[in-house]
Structure 1
Amino acid sequence: MKKLITILFLALLVPCLKAQQAEISGCWLGKLSVGAVDLRIVFNILIDDDGIYKATMDSPDQSVKDIPMGDVRFSDDSLVIIAPLLSGDYKGKMVNDTSIEGTWTQSGLSYELNLIKQAGGFKMNRPQEPVAPFPYIEEHVKFPSLNGEFNLAGTLTIPEGNGPFPATILVSGSGSQNRDEEIFGHKPFKVLADHLTRSGIAVLRYDDRGVGESGGNPVSATSADFAEDARAAIQFLSDRAEINEERIGVIGHSEGGLIAFILASQYDDIAFIVSLAGPGVNGKTILKDQTEYISRLNKMPEEVLQQTMRVNDTIYSILEKYGDPETGIEKINSFVTDFYRQEGEGEEVIEQVMNNLSSTINPSSYPWLSYFTRSDPAEYYPDIKCPVLALNGEKDCQVMAEKNVSAIVNGLKNSGNQNVTAKVFPGLNHLFQHADTGLPNEYGEIEDTMSPEVLETISEWIIGPREPGAPDRGKK
């Protein structure tokens, strides 16, 4: 998930009534709908002793907080916030003391963004997020990348008691993510690591390259590069005295599941794999299924959907065929422009389409997209000999549950690996939350981070079921 990093510039306040100042100051919450994703946006506005507006912005669903604002203008019930660095602006009209109706415009695209004044500061409720003190050892660590060119940083949690302990690394899904795989205010990997460590399993979770405290550059990196980073994490664990080096596994979420398969096909010291909503079919199929399923849930008109699918199919084919970003992007841009001109669309619409396209497919993202589109887990199944647990949620909109879990089970068993366990959990989404539709715009609205039955399934599969009434494993 890409961060919505917005820096807005604040101007001197035009003289206005004290009553107007009192109305606009405070915490204002709105929801920005971008495709299938809803992002909550918070403007925190106050007035300093000189009568000048000061403000910060939060995007809680993207874990972005306290972004300093720039110029804010408010007069005659109209609010304008300019964002010159992002070619964006917010314009709104105060309807009453507690609501503003307005529009956010960025890169030529406009989105409705209505704001509601909050009685206090906005805070999301995340009841599963672990809070110290913990009944285990928590250590902040750094370890070298596989080529030694940069360091990766993470958190290692080790059960109390006598080791050595079984261990696992956690590998995040697509996009640059921190060690907690933080998304929409949730910290799935922190919740998972806490549960596993309380169950007697050591866990290493780490910031992706170029994120948080990790070095390296994520630009142009592919799943193969991230697999090398994961291998470096395994090597770090194997050198720790508290860890049983013969029982180190990989738990990968989404793209992390593909990375787990890559690793296990290359190294025979991987003790086990847990694929959490990981792909079982090729990347092109994943992307096509995802687009169609989410579009249908959002009730996209059939004619528009079929047009979108035709365009996307050609784009995916270009991504498959051309690994070079310059060539691929040129061919994609040419195709999309010609397609919509032939469909009779005006230049203004085409410009908006191209602006939207360039935010997704650009020189930085192209290598990853091209690699993922061409990726196929079936290439790795014949060389995977370790036990595999494949889990998914029935309402997953990003990785179709039955299709991908079945492909993993059948692919591994047909390749000679019979030690495969699989389960599709009813009612759970891509993050393994209990969901209504499973659409991504629900992720942030749901308070629970990860279903307890999924957590128990993982720990019991790795280490065996806990006796009724027994204390946390690993405790003295």
Structure 2
Amino acid sequence: MKRIVFVVLLGLISHFNFAQNATGDWYGNLEVQPGMTLPLVLHITEADGTYSGTLDSPDQKAFGIPITTVTYTDAILNIAITNMGLTYEGTVNSDKHIEGTFKQGGQTFPLEFAREAVTVEAPNRPQEPKAPFPYTTEEVTFENTAANATFSGTITLPKVVFKGKKKLPAVILISGSGPQDRNEELLGHKPFLVIADYLTRNGIAVLRYDDRGTAKSTGDFQGATSADFATDAQAAFDFLKNHPDIDASKIGFAGHSEGGLIAPMVAAKNKEVSFIALLAGVGQPGDELLMDQGYLIGKAQGFDDEMLRKNRIAQEMMFGTVKEYYGDTPKIKEELTRYLSNALDENPEMIPEGSSKEALMKREINTLSSDWFQYLIVTDPRPTLEKVTCPVLAINGSLDLQVPSKKNLENIESSVKKGGNTDVTTVEFPNLNHLFQTTTTGSPTEYAQLEETFSPDALKVLSDWIIEKTK
């Protein structure tokens, strides 16, 4: 739009811009894939002609994400979050509507915002249990004093006496990576709620709890490693074995993903653990797992062979640096900065649209040098699995792109048996993904689209095996 200099129009121009006010709260629904919608909320403020703002992604439990730059000129709103490679440009058509384009990671999506939250039909989750339940539910708390954390959780107890015994066998659920609530809620799914309901209906008591520093639990999640989370699981075990309705000799763990790495850590040290069930559990070294994961997900998302090759080389170099200087975070950051700077200069196409070299480097280096990531990269679960003496069940789906099924199931079985424990069962379910949903590709982009939360076949195998091992 040409600059207007006629004095007589200045009043009209000012009124026009005021009427199309960009400040305030804006609500939109980003359709990232047919049937998969992600609600977003923009909060735009203005002071002395300078705009700023934050972004919320409620379904991902991400609130107050700082927006790097906000500009508003001639009814055009531009925002950028450089460390996420995210941009949005929209036209404020009225004080109640913005129409524009969202870009991230080389992908472009139309996105409209409105003053009022757009109603989106809740995703269909037919397996999610609804009250009243045919079992007793208890809200509980327990402590991990060494971590200065108080955990909030839920115990579900069958109302009937199991197999004629006065006390019940029990399983403690351990969540996957990232801060998770007791239901391990993700993209509208609540896997641990579904698992707990199924097992309890079949006579098995279940304890599930919010991770440290998450939901109703206290403590510091940031900076904690899988080894730290293992002490949380041990605290849950110590609490549960003193419950008046629980048979202390029949308490085990069921861990999903990273939880399947943590459960053997506890069982290897605590011989009171009656059993462990590993749901998409890890059986290969962390750096190998992440490289396999990166290749499989990248391929599913359509990356060409050359891009996959370059990504693999970059991962090998960066993970190798972390392993070489493990524990020396300043040195890791120094070496990664040198490598990434050169690599991005030589391959500028690796920088996502809307981001910058500096923003991408900061994001990658902060992630790779974190205590949790360092620990994952250097951890080989096989020696720990060799020390597990209780019964082990390992299950996974053939289309798991995050924890490749065949390799990890074979490693788990061979490692447990190497330690002299022959009571190990592995099951690979066809056409299940990392969340144990029936699927055709296994891509994480399908997780929210699928109505199934957890395969009934996998639930039955898990339940039957626990009953057999605790009868």
Shorter-chain TM-score above 0.5: yes
Answer yes or no: is the 8 Å Cα contact 1:151–1:216 preserved in 2.
yes
**What's the secondary structure of 2:386's corresponding residue?**
helix
Q: Which runs of 5+ in 1 are unaligned?
A: 1-11, 46-54, 466-472
Answer yes or no: is the 8 Å Cα contact 1:27–1:121 preserved in 2.
no
Answer yes or no: is the 8 Å Cα contact 1:78–1:91 preserved in 2.
yes
2:38 equivalent to 1:40: yes
Cα deviation, residue 354, structure 1:
4.3
Aligned equivalents of 2:349 and 2:381: distance in 1?
39
Match for residue 330 of structure 1?
334
Cα deviation, residue 397, structure 1:
0.5
2:392 equivalent to 1:388: yes
2:437 equivalent to 1:441: no
Answer yes or no: is the 8 Å Cα contact 1:165–1:243 preserved in 2.
yes
> Which is further off, 378-387 or 73-82?
73-82
Match for residue 155 of structure 2?
156
Answer yes or no: is the 8 Å Cα contact 1:99–1:114 preserved in 2.
no
Cα deviation, residue 131, structure 1:
1.6
Aligned equivalents of 2:367 and 2:120: distance in 1?
39
Cα deviation, residue 152, structure 1:
1.2
Look up the equivalent residue of 1:221 and give its one-letter code: A
Cα deviation, residue 157, structure 1:
1.1
CA 1:123–1:258: 2 relative to 1, 3 Å: same
Alignment of 1:366-405 (within 5 A): 366-405=370-409
Aligned equivalents of 1:344 and 1:278: distance in 2?
36
Answer yes or no: is the 8 Å Cα contact 2:255–2:277 preserved in 1.
yes
> Which is further off, 154-163 or 118-127?
118-127
Look up the equivalent residue of 1:329 and give its one-letter code: K
Cα deviation, residue 153, structure 1:
1.2
**What's the secondary structure of 1:185's corresponding residue?**
coil
Match for residue 299 of structure 2?
296
**What's the secondary structure of 2:453's corresponding residue?**
coil
Answer yes or no: is the 8 Å Cα contact 1:219–1:364 preserved in 2.
no
Answer yes or no: is the 8 Å Cα contact 1:103–1:112 preserved in 2.
yes
Look up the equivalent residue of 1:151 and give its one-letter code: T
Answer yes or no: is the 8 Å Cα contact 1:63–1:185 preserved in 2.
no
Match for residue 62 of structure 1?
60
**What's the secondary structure of 1:408's corresponding residue?**
helix
Match for residue 411 of structure 1?
415
CA 1:130–1:354: 2 relative to 1, 3 Å: farther
Aligned equivalents of 2:297 and 2:350: distance in 1?
27
Answer yes or no: is the 8 Å Cα contact 2:213–2:220 preserved in 1.
yes
Look up the equivalent residue of 2:89 and give its one-letter code: K
Match for residue 48 of structure 1?
none
Cα deviation, residue 361, structure 1:
3.7
Look up the equivalent residue of 1:433 and give its one-letter code: Q
Aligned equivalents of 1:318 and 1:73: distance in 2?
40
**What's the secondary structure of 1:259's corresponding residue?**
helix
Aligned equivalents of 1:86 and 1:336: distance in 2?
17
Cα deviation, residue 194, structure 1:
0.9
> Which is further off, 136-145 or 58-67?
58-67
Aligned equivalents of 1:160 and 1:413: distance in 2?
37
> Which is further off, 96-105 or 181-190?
96-105
Q: Which has the larger radius of gyration?
A: 2
CA 1:132–1:358: 2 relative to 1, 3 Å: farther
Q: Which whole-Å deviations, capped at 9, do the CAs of 1:74-96 have from their partners, x for residues lacking one?
A: 99885667889999763224899
CA 1:77–1:449: 2 relative to 1, 3 Å: farther
Match for residue 197 of structure 2?
194
Q: Which whole-Å deviations, capped at 9, do the CAs of 1:268-324 have from their partners, x for residues lacking one?
A: 011001000011111111001001111122221222221111111011111212222
Answer yes or no: is the 8 Å Cα contact 1:146–1:228 preserved in 2.
no
Answer yes or no: is the 8 Å Cα contact 1:392–1:423 preserved in 2.
yes
Cα deviation, residue 447, structure 1:
1.4
Cα deviation, residue 72, structure 1:
11
Cα deviation, residue 128, structure 1:
1.4
Answer yes or no: is the 8 Å Cα contact 1:324–1:367 preserved in 2.
no
Answer yes or no: is the 8 Å Cα contact 2:337–2:365 preserved in 1.
no
> Which is further off, 378-387 or 332-341?
332-341
Match for residue 340 of structure 1?
344
CA 1:148–1:338: 2 relative to 1, 3 Å: closer
Look up the equivalent residue of 2:149 and give its one-letter code: F
CA 1:39–1:292: 2 relative to 1, 3 Å: farther
Answer yes or no: is the 8 Å Cα contact 1:13–1:73 preserved in 2.
no
Q: Which whole-Å deviations, capped at 9, do the CAs of 1:99-120 have from their partners, x for residues lacking one?
A: 9441357xxx776341268984
CA 1:57–1:367: 2 relative to 1, 3 Å: closer
Aligned equivalents of 1:259 and 1:85: distance in 2?
31
Answer yes or no: is the 8 Å Cα contact 2:332–2:369 preserved in 1.
no
Aligned pair count?
A: 433
Match of 2:463 among 431, 456, 459: 459
Match for residue 176 of structure 2?
173
Q: Which whole-Å deviations, capped at 9, do the CAs of 1:146-169 have from their partners, x for residues lacking one?
A: 526221111111111334110011
Alignment of 1:225-244 (within 5 A): 225-244=228-247
Answer yes or no: is the 8 Å Cα contact 2:83–2:355 preserved in 1.
no
2:259 equivalent to 1:259: no
Cα deviation, residue 442, structure 1:
0.7
Q: Percent identity?
A: 37
Calculate the TM-score normalised by the size of structure 2.
Answer: 0.81
Aligned equivalents of 1:346 and 1:44: distance in 2?
28
> Which is further off, 221-230 or 125-134?
125-134
Match for residue 51 of structure 1?
none
CA 1:433–1:94: 2 relative to 1, 3 Å: farther
**What's the secondary structure of 2:139's corresponding residue?**
strand
**What's the secondary structure of 1:380's corresponding residue?**
helix
**What's the secondary structure of 2:356's corresponding residue?**
helix
Match for residue 363 of structure 2?
359
Match for residue 112 of structure 1?
108
Aligned equivalents of 2:132 and 2:16: distance in 1?
46
Answer yes or no: is the 8 Å Cα contact 1:276–1:390 preserved in 2.
yes
Cα deviation, residue 381, structure 1:
2.4
Aligned equivalents of 2:403 and 2:361: distance in 1?
22
2:250 equivalent to 1:247: yes
CA 1:100–1:417: 2 relative to 1, 3 Å: same
Answer yes or no: is the 8 Å Cα contact 2:40–2:57 preserved in 1.
yes
Look up the equivalent residue of 2:148 and give its one-letter code: E
Calculate the TM-score normalised by the size of structure 1.
Answer: 0.80
Answer yes or no: is the 8 Å Cα contact 2:80–2:354 preserved in 1.
no
Look up the equivalent residue of 1:30 and give its one-letter code: L
Q: Which whole-Å deviations, capped at 9, do the CAs of 1:44-70 have from their partners, x for residues lacking one?
A: 99xxxxxxxxx9986354256999x9x
CA 1:246–1:279: 2 relative to 1, 3 Å: same
